[in-house]
Amino acid sequence: MSRAPQDCGARDATARLSVGDATLRQVSPYPDSTAPAVPAPATAPAPLRARLAELRGPVAPRPLDARALAALATNPGCRRRAILDAAGVDKSAVASRIGRPAPFGQSQFAIARGHAFEARVTADRCAELLRLLGERLGVPVPGEVDLPDLDAAGPAGRTERTRLALAEATAAGRWALLEHPMLRLDVAGSPVHLEPDAVVVHPDGTWTVVEVKSFPILDGSADPSKVGAAARQAAVYVLALEEAARSTGRGRPGETVLLVCPRDFSNLPTASPVDVRKQLSVTRRQLARLTRIEEIAAALPEGTTFDLRPAEDGRTPTRPPRELAAAVDSVPAAYSPECLSTCELAFHCRERARQCGAVQALGRAVRGELGGLTTVEQVLAAARGPVDPDDPAARRLHRAARLRAGAPAGAPAGAPAGADPAERPGAAEHAPGGAAAPGGRGREAVACR
Ligand code: SF4
């Protein structure tokens, strides 16, 4: 007997959750029948694949997962990461070899806790998960939900099995729950295999991604950065489902995913819909940019390679660190403090950004405020004047320097706080040589913060 869909908002306070980077509130109804047409996939020509293999060296490419693809999308301007990821280079090994390993990834404790929580949610043929799906999506009692067996040999076999299961369930117009399906997404011409926690097939052909995470929803709120990361990861799965929809000629991936987390301080699961349209559009755009990897590769100096040249044991790298670092530095980067939580090369890139006084090391917000001024040296020069009346960032800096210079000793008469020095006669005479340039110590503190 079918169970009627129920009012999610009335049953679970978490429906009112909202975070900065992703919205946990249900903004589009299930089933999502308004998803846009699936765009064509990006593929890369064979010469590019050969060039990427050359850059990687004679080792197996490091497979990209949804987390890595999502991280790639958070910094779309970074050519360094784009080409290293496209070539399947082990960035962690490269960072270690050049002497700047970054502590990166989840702790063993967090991984174990995540596994334990997921095991609880999926125990007894997904009994708990089906209960949550019943609350949120109106999925009927377990007996009326197909749970297809997706076992097969290797990622390619599992992908094909998943594809068939999706097609069959959609054609039959039945509810189905696919636990740990295997999906495929072409990235720069190479297949990436991705494994979401679950996918629900609705009778009308909508497919909903379900992500199980171990961070808690406390009193109706969740950590925005964690929800944002989960949303970006889920968006990658939705893109892979779009590829499956294209290949089967059936199905419609929904743009709202279901996040399953522990509730409050208990280990009891709760579920919340998350709108991932924004993450989808950013990730789609970034993956489209990967088709331009060829341009990045073509711009590299002759002979550039990130080959770690393993010793006879096949593991120990033998490449001189200086040479490897030079190869890494030959690709332009776009460092920002966010890299510290998303990229294995963050310590190396941060050091390089500091060395050349790049303002991007101070964060994207500061970088955006400074307009065309890209180095700390340029910023200090603009603050000291003479003022460029056509550059609003330079004018603001000059004014700030004047205020700072006047504050400790008292502003001179005729120089009221708030007046733009660029608009006063004799402004250049008051250029705050010492005050705006607070000495080597101050400059270092700004550049290396
Ligand atoms: S750490 Fe470096 S390579 Fe990684 S995304 Fe940031 S700038 Fe790019």
pLDDT tens profile 342-362: 899 999 999 999 998 888 888
User: Residues 46-84: pLDDT tens digits?
Assistant: 677 788 889 998 888 887 888 888 887 778 778 899 899
Ligand 1 geometric centre to CA of 75 (Å) = 8
Closest atom of ligand 1 relative to the 340 alpha carbon: 1
Ligand 1 geometric centre to CA of 286 (Å) = 15
Ligand 1 geometric centre to CA of 340 (Å) = 9
Q: Which residue has the higher pLDDT, 328 or 373?
A: 328
pLDDT of residue 441: 33
pLDDT of residue 142: 66
Closest atom of ligand 1 relative to the 81 alpha carbon: 3
Closest atom of ligand 1 relative to the 343 alpha carbon: 4
Q: Is the pLDDT of residue 445 over 80?
A: no
Q: Is the pLDDT of residue 29 over 70?
A: no
pLDDT of residue 443: 34
**The token pair that represents 256 in the structure block:** 């709202």
Q: What is the residue whose two structure tokens read 């009335």?
A: 10
pLDDT of residue 309: 83
Q: Is the pLDDT of residue 206 over 70?
A: yes
Ligand 1 within 6 A of CB of 78 = yes
**Average pLDDT of the chain, as a whole number:** 78
- The whole-number average pLDDT for the span 278-297 is 81
pLDDT band with cut points at 50, 70 and 90 for residue 35: very low
Ligand 1 geometric centre to CA of 81 (Å) = 6
pLDDT of residue 104: 66
Lowest mean pLDDT among 154-163, 255-264, 364-373: 364-373
pLDDT band with cut points at 50, 70 and 90 for residue 25: very low
Q: Is the pLDDT of residue 442 over 80?
A: no
pLDDT of residue 373: 84
pLDDT of residue 189: 63
Tell me the best of 345, 347, 351, 352 to mutate to test the pocket of ligand 1, counting ligand atoms within 8 Å of each CB and taking the most.
Answer: 345
Question: Alpha helix (H) ranges present in 217-263?
Answer: 224-248
Q: Nearest residue CA, atom 4 of ligand 1?
A: 343
Q: Nearest residue CA, atom 1 of ligand 1?
A: 346
- Got the DSSP string for 255-307? SEEEEEEEBTTSS-EEEEEEE-HHHHHHHHHHHHHGGGHHHHHHTSPTT----
Q: Is the pLDDT of residue 5 over 70?
A: no
Closest atom of ligand 1 relative to the 72 alpha carbon: 5
Ligand 1 within 6 A of CB of 346 = yes
Q: Residue ranges of the domains in the chain?
A: 10-40+141-287, 359-411+428-447
Lowest mean pLDDT among 227-236, 253-262, 415-424: 415-424
Strand duo 183-187 + 190-194: pairing: antiparallel
Q: Nearest residue CA, atom 7 of ligand 1?
A: 335
Tell me the best of 67, 74, 80 to mutate to test the pocket of ligand 1, counting ligand atoms within 8 Å of each CB and taking the most.
Answer: 80
pLDDT of residue 409: 53
Give the whole-angstrom CA distance, residue 313 versus residue 130: 48
Q: Is the pLDDT of residue 158 over 80?
A: yes
Ligand 1 geometric centre to CA of 345 (Å) = 6
Ligand 1 within 6 A of CB of 345 = yes
Q: Is the pLDDT of residue 437 over 50?
A: no
Question: Alpha helix (H) ranges present in 57-147?
Answer: 66-74, 79-86, 91-97, 108-137
Closest atom of ligand 1 relative to the 78 alpha carbon: 8
Tell me the best of 69, 75, 79 to mutate to test the pocket of ligand 1, counting ligand atoms within 8 Å of each CB and taking the most.
Answer: 75
pLDDT of residue 249: 93
Ligand 1 geometric centre to CA of 143 (Å) = 49
Q: Which residue has the higher pLDDT, 68 or 269?
A: 269
Q: Is the pLDDT of residue 188 over 50?
A: yes
Q: Nearest residue CA, atom 2 of ligand 1?
A: 349
Contact 333, 350 (CB under 8 A): no
Give the whole-angstrom CA distance, residue 183 versus residue 160: 9
Q: Is the pLDDT of residue 392 over 90?
A: no
Lowest mean pLDDT among 103-112, 133-142, 146-155, 189-198: 103-112
Q: Is the pLDDT of residue 419 over 50?
A: no
pLDDT band with cut points at 50, 70 and 90 for residue 186: confident
Ligand 1 within 6 A of CB of 81 = yes
pLDDT of residue 45: 57
Ligand 1 within 6 A of CB of 75 = yes
Q: Is the pLDDT of residue 414 over 60?
A: no
Ligand 1 geometric centre to CA of 36 (Å) = 32
pLDDT of residue 74: 75
pLDDT of residue 270: 93
- The whole-number average pLDDT for the span 154-172 is 95
Strand duo 183-187 + 256-262: pairing: unpaired
Ligand 1 within 6 A of CB of 333 = yes
Tell me the best of 64, 72, 335 to mutate to test the pocket of ligand 1, counting ligand atoms within 8 Å of each CB and taking the most.
Answer: 335
Highest mean pLDDT of the ranges 21-35, 76-90, 157-171: 157-171
- The whole-number average pLDDT for the span 239-250 is 95
Instruction: Report how far apart, in Å, the C-alpha atoms of 1 and of each of 53, 124, 203 are.
Output: 55, 20, 15
pLDDT band with cut points at 50, 70 and 90 for residue 166: very high
% of the chain beyond a pLDDT of 90: 37
Judge residue 365's burial from the number of C-beta atoms within 10 Å of its C-beta, 0-12 exposed, 13-18 middle, 19 or more buried.
Answer: exposed
pLDDT band with cut points at 50, 70 and 90 for residue 435: very low
Q: Is the pLDDT of residue 271 over 50?
A: yes
Tell me the best of 98, 343, 347, 348 to mutate to test the pocket of ligand 1, counting ligand atoms within 8 Å of each CB and taking the most.
Answer: 343
Ligand 1 within 6 A of CB of 334 = yes
pLDDT of residue 239: 95
